[in-house]
Chains A and B, each alone.
Chain A
Amino acid sequence: MTEVIRFIIGFFLVVGSFLTLVTAFGLIRLPDVYTRNHAASKSATLGVMCILLATFLFFYMEEGHFNSRLILGIIFIFITAPVAGHLISRAAYNSGVPLWEKSVRDDLKGKQKYEDRNM
């Protein structure tokens, strides 16, 4: 039983660290702000959540300590990190950061002028 739990904890830790590493590679290799933001807000969120879940399981199974702060932290990161990504992306678009030159479609282009007319 305990070995199974340890295996699960180790699995979550490795997956979490791997996803965080993927985030770092995405930030380095992707071409523009929006794709980088996509990498950062998605995989980093899941990576941190996996690591927090592993920490919670470790303290609960090995020491019998139910740490509700970790649960709260998982929920909090799950709520806030995508919103932070959304806000950064929108701020970048509104201040005129260009898209990657190979982008094929920008549905917000006309909308931007429409909002400017109705300000």
Chain B
Amino acid sequence: MKTNDVILQTVTTIVSFIIILFSIQLFFAGHYTPGGGFIGGLMTSGALVLLLLAYDIKTVRTILPIDYKLLTAIGLLLAVGTGAGALLFNVPFLTHAYDYFHLPLLGETSLHTAVIFDTGVYFVVIGITMTIIQTIGVSE
């Protein structure tokens, strides 16, 4: 039976933006407050799953043409690259560094290489969650 999902779809278009914004906030707030790459990635994939629930899998693939297995690989590469980058400066593997920079809009900000590692975690979590859900969703 073809159902009329207009309420769910309208609410999804509004709510998914709120969820994705909140997940990005959680991701960037992870250094000083509760949050981080794992929970941010899970919440982003939660927004994508909400899109999958309201629309079908082909529509979401048209909106976001992302190969999630590739996203997982990029995340792992970022994490390993951050660790290996420390070797260039003659310090042990996974040694992180930070410094204070003056950014144009944000002003005095401390930038930490752990954020790049966390971006890797973020990508891997999104990639794995979406791969699992899409694989289960497609199989007959």
Pick from B3, B7, B11, B18: contact of A72, CB below 8 A.
B18
Picked from A75, A76, A86, A94, the residue with its CB within 8 Å of the CB of B7 is: A86
| A74 CA to B94 CA, complexed, in Å | 41
A116: nearest residue on chain B (CB-CB)?
A: B1
Closest Cβ–Cβ distance, residue B81 to chain A (whole Å): 32
A87 to B7: give the CA distance in the assembly, Å.
9
**Which residues of B lie under 8 Å from residue A72 when comparing CB positions?**
18, 22
Nearest chain A CB to B46's CB is how many angstroms away? Answer: 12
Contact status of A79 and B15, CB under 8 A, knowing A72-B22, A87-B8: yes
B93 to chain A, nearest CB (A): 36
With an 8 A cutoff between CB atoms, is B2 at the interface?
yes
Assess whether A107 is interfacial by the CB under 8 Å rule: no
Docked-complex contact A115 and B8, CB < 8 angstroms: no
Distance of A40 from chain B, by nearest CB (Å):
18
Asked if A83 and B8 sit within 8 Å, CB to CB, the answer is yes
Q: How large is the interface on B (under 10, 10 to 19, 20 to 34, 35 or more residues)?
A: 10 to 19
Smallest beta-carbon distance B19→chain A, Å = 8
A92 to B128, CA, bound (A): 33
Could you tell me the distance between the alpha carbons of A91 and B7 in the complex, rounded to whole angstroms?
14
B138: interface (CB < 8 Å): no
Chain A residues whose C-beta falls within 8 Å of the C-beta of B7 in the assembled complex: 83, 86-87
A119 lies within 8 A of chain B by Cβ: yes
Question: Do A75 and B1 have beta carbons less than 8 Å apart?
Answer: no
B11 near A80 with CB under 8 A, answer yes
**CA gap between A87 and B14 in the complex, in Å:** 17
- Please report A residues at the B interface, Cβ cutoff 8 Å: 69, 72, 75-76, 79-80, 83, 86-87, 94, 115-116, 119
- Given A83-B7, A119-B1, 16 more contacts at CB 8 Å? A69-B22, A76-B15, A76-B18, A79-B11, A79-B15, A80-B11, A80-B15, A83-B8, A83-B11, A86-B7, A87-B8, A94-B3, A115-B1, A115-B2, A116-B1, A119-B2
